[in-house]
Structure 1
Amino acid sequence: MYETLTYSGGIYKSEEIKELIEDLGGFILQENTIQMDLVINMAVPIDDIDKVEEKAKELLGKISIAPMAGTEIAIVSPTLARHHLPHSACDISEYLRRFGAKDNMIGLARGHGKGTAGITQEEKTLIEEHDLAIFALGSFKQCIIDKSFLFDDIDIPVIVTGAPEIDLDELPGADYYVSGLGRIPRRLKRGENIRALRKLVEVVEDALDKKRRELSNDPPIVPSILVKNEIERQVPDIKKITSPVPVTSQIDGLRVKLDYDKYHEVIENVDIEDKKLSQIADIKKSHIYDYIWINLLNESSII
């Protein structure tokens, strides 16, 4: 069993903690460098957490639990226009990243008003390439209820946010609803906003834990973090990618930020233990920039 952690510290001697993670049989999920500061999201064996904490203390860094590390979350807004963005949805995105999440902002093509709101099949498919979706809606109860058709047949866990209190049974298709996060024309810095964001974090963690428990009954043939490590080791062109997190882990899959048409055969032929990746995963063209999306097959699929 692995625990996901975040290391925050300086660049100086940071290779020591990276080497320790590797020596312990752990994995680096994400690494960000901002000037002289370094943030590493990692997965390490539960029994070795104290060794990582000891090394972080030695390097004057900090270790914290990152319950969302190794997941990819879609934050969906009815539009990308100022009518809905950037305040609440962007602040939700920034806040979740503090807990290790890799999130993507998605604006629907038709969302300006409940009478014209809509979602296409391509948009639904794009959203379903994630572990979880958060629909960041507005401030009026009836408007939010009327827009439930946007998510009533999404096949991943759906969390809806809005300003008013709404009973979950009034939102078909939603697995959770978090109030206090409506359309706010300013940064979410006040006390009530921070409390709502903290509540959202609790709900996201609960949804992801539930998905992991369900998956444990029929887990992927190979864990996604192992596949990530092998792709990075065997595909040299990964090092040429300038986008953050070139290989993004999900609970039961990955996103590789290489062009599908050019690289899908290379990815299909990555060796995972005694198999090719194409034998243990469905490899498809992503709806995000024609990247490569990998959906790992479950153990029951080879019976």
Structure 2
Amino acid sequence: MPEGDTVWQTARRLHGALAGQVLTRSDFRVPKYATADLTGRTVLDVTPHGKHLLTRVEGGLTLHSHLKMDGSWKVFANGRRWTGGPSHQIRVILGNEDRTAVGYRLPVLELMRTSDEQRVVGHLGPDLLGPDWNPERALANLLADPARPLGEALLDQRNLAGIGNVYKSELCFLLGVTPWLPVGALPAERAARLPEFAKRLLEANRDRPVRSTTGRRGQDLFVYGRAPRPCLRCRTSIRVAEQGDGSRERPTYWCPRCQTGPSPSTAPPRGTPRRTTN
């Protein structure tokens, strides 16, 4: 699933291509909006909110989209061949005199009144890359369920918006704890700096074509996707296991030497899985 920095980059591309321009093409390829037509309306802005994209259009309308696991928005100069996938995967096309934005495999696509945006993003915690960022509120949200594993809490967008599975694993490594450590067991000084630490990581990567948490060329990530290769710090083999986020299991990476706390062989059983909202 794309993370907050990727969604921020997508919003910037869409905003640069569409904002301030009158739509000359509008083609919805989902049954619910088959008759919707935005032609002749000016795109006002494209704003990211956590992992959600809000494309605001003249007349008080917002096109809400979410990339989930496989969705993407591609922007093409008019006349250029589209390369985002086969045509049957296209869900919406928005174009003006110069550029065309094509939404591929979008699992969430909703045309709504701009005044109703809170219905789809109002449940989210503070956005790590947004104007509503509030580290104190984010930390309070994370600590509200002290028995919850840290990895689950970080992925729950109701706590803070923008962290996905990559940043979950990398943040836990940088904090020196496993993703299965209960949030309440995180040392106080590490807990206090976690929200701003997460924000700095996403901010550092929102303008980069390749995400990096290490600062090392060719070794971009400490643990994510690196099992069973050696840890960049201690050379112990990185491990991987599934961890629930409240809705599904996700591959989770950690170093058994650099990170303290429970791991899948020692973590206590959890109760009924929580539903995580994106």
TM-score calculated relative to the size of structure 2: 0.28
Q: Which has the higher helix share?
A: 1
Higher RCO (C-alpha 8 Å, min separation 6): 2
